[in-house]
Amino acid sequence: MRCADATFHARDYDLAATLNSGQAFRWREVEGAWENVIADRWVRLTQERDVIRAQTGQSAKGWRWLDDYLQTDVNLAAILKSFPKDEPMRNAICACRGLRLLRQDPWECLIAFICSSSKQIVQIQQILITLCERYGQPVQTPPGHPPAFAFPTPERLAARAETELRSCRMGFRAPYVRTAAIEVASGNLRFEDLAHLPIEAARERLMRLPGVGLKIADCVLLFSGMHPRAFPMDVWIKRALCRLYFRRVRASESRLRKFSATYFGPWAGYAQQYLFHYMRLHHR
DNA sequence: CTCCAGGCGCCTT
DNA sequence: AAGGCGCATGGA
C-alpha cells in the first residue's frame, strides 16, 4: 500500500484558522501540519500561501472526498459580499480573512456537538479521541506513524452500554449519545432527509433527540453543509450580538433569534462563524 | 477548596 | 417569555 500525495490551489483559504475554529474537533497540529481522519482516510495537510498539500496513508482514488470536505470550490468572495455591510462584519471579515466552513459527516457532527454541551474544547477533543480509539476502525497510516482511527459507526456506538460510554468521560451525555446512535443505526433518523427538509423541519427532527436543543441542531445542520442559514447561538455569539448590535443592552433570546434569522442573509451561518472566530481572537 | 465550561430539560414565576 | 438549577467531569 503506497501513500498518495496531491496539491490543491486554494485561494483565500486560511487552513489553520478553518481547522481550528471550533467547527471540527479532531484535527491535530503536528510540526506545522494538520492531521486527522476523514471517513476512513488518514490525511495530513499543510499550507503554503495559496497551495494546500495533502498526503494520505493509502493510495487514494481521486481527491473528490477532500475537495468536498474542505469546500475548496466555494466562492468565498461571493459569500462575504452577501454579509451585511456594517462595521462589526467588516472588522470580522478583515480579522478572519480566509476562514471557511467545512462540510463534515453529519453523524460525527451530531455526536461531537452532543458531547460539546457545557464542555471546553480540550475536553470535547479528549472524549472524541477516546471514542475513536475504543470503537473506531483503524485506518492506514504512513510507515512509522502512530495508529489512527475512523470515527465509530452508529452501529458500533449503538451496541455499547450506557455505562461503557460514560467511561469515555462524557458524563450525563452518555444516554444522549447512545440514543442518537440507535436512532441513526436503525434508520429512524436519516441525514439525507434532513438536507431536503426546510430548515425548521430539519431542526425539529434533530431536536426530538434527547440532549439536542436548538444550538446543537444548528451546529449539525451548518457544519455538515446541509443548511447555510443555520445559526448556532452559543453564549459567545449571544454576547457578540448584544455588544455589537444592541449596544450592551441585554437583548432577550427571542429578540436575538429573530434578528439573526433575517439580518445576516442567506449565508447567516457563515457570518456566525466569522463573528465567533473574531470574538475568540479578540478575547485572548 | 470553589467555580464554571460553544447546553439541555424541567421546573418555577 | 424569562430565570434558576441539576446534570458529570475536569481544569483553572
Q: Which residue is nearest to nucleotide B6 (CA to C1')?
A: A234
pLDDT of residue A195: 96
Q: Which residue is nearest to nucleotide C6 (CA to C1')?
A: A172
Which amino acid type is present at position A200? Answer: E
Average pLDDT over every residue of A106-134? 97
pLDDT digits (tens, 9 = 90+) for A14-29: 999 999 999 999 999 9
Determine the nucleotide nearest to A250 by Cα–C1' distance. Answer: C2
pLDDT of residue A134: 98
* A213 CB and strand B closer than 7 A: yes
* A169 CB and strand C closer than 7 A: yes
pLDDT of residue A237: 94
Indicate the angle between helix axes A235-245 and A253-263, nearest 10 degrees.
80
Q: Which residues pair with A44 in a beta bridge?
A: A35, A55
CA distance A227 to A99: 18
| Inter-CA distances, A244 with A58, A105, A236, A252, A261, Å | 47, 33, 12, 15, 16
* A280 CB and strand C closer than 7 A: no
Q: Percentage of chain A with pLDDT > 70?
A: 99
Q: Give, in Å, how far the C1' of B3 lies from the CA of A120.
A: 14
With a cut of 60, say whether residue A241 has pLDDT above it.
Answer: yes
Split at pLDDT 50, 70, 90, the class of A1 is: low
* A284 CB and strand B closer than 7 A: no
Q: What is the pTM of this model?
A: 0.97
pLDDT digits (tens, 9 = 90+) for A169-215: 999 999 999 999 999 999 999 999 999 999 999 999 999 999 999 99
pLDDT of residue A33: 97
Protein-contacted positions of strand C (CB under 7 Å): 1-3, 7-11
pLDDT digits (tens, 9 = 90+) for A115-128: 999 999 999 999 99
**Residues of A assigned a catalytic role:** 215
A window 79-118: Cβ near strand B (< 7 A): 116-118
Protein-contacted positions of strand B (CB under 7 Å): 5-9
* A215 CB and strand B closer than 7 A: yes
Q: Give, in Å, how far the C1' of B9 lies from the CA of A159.
A: 26
pLDDT digits (tens, 9 = 90+) for A28-71: 999 999 999 999 999 999 999 999 999 998 876 899 999 999 99
CB of A154 within 8 A of CB of A185? Answer: yes
**DSSP labels, A146-199:** PPEEPPPPHHHHHTS-HHHHIIIIIGGGHHHHHHHHHHHHTTSS-HHHHHHS-H
A window 121-160: Cβ near strand C (< 7 A): 122-123, 126
Which amino acid type is present at position A105? Answer: D
pLDDT of residue A249: 73
pLDDT of residue A2: 62
Q: Which residues contact A91 (CB under 8 A, 6 or more apart)?
A: A278
Q: Give, in Å, how far the C1' of B12 lies from the CA of A131.
A: 38
A window 160-189: Cβ near strand B (< 7 A): 172
pLDDT of residue A61: 81
pLDDT digits (tens, 9 = 90+) for A71-99: 999 999 999 999 999 999 999 999 999 99
With a cut of 90, say whether residue A247 has pLDDT above it.
Answer: no
A window 186-205: Cβ near strand C (< 7 A): none
pLDDT of residue A284: 58
**Mean pLDDT over each residue of chain A, to the nearest integer:** 95
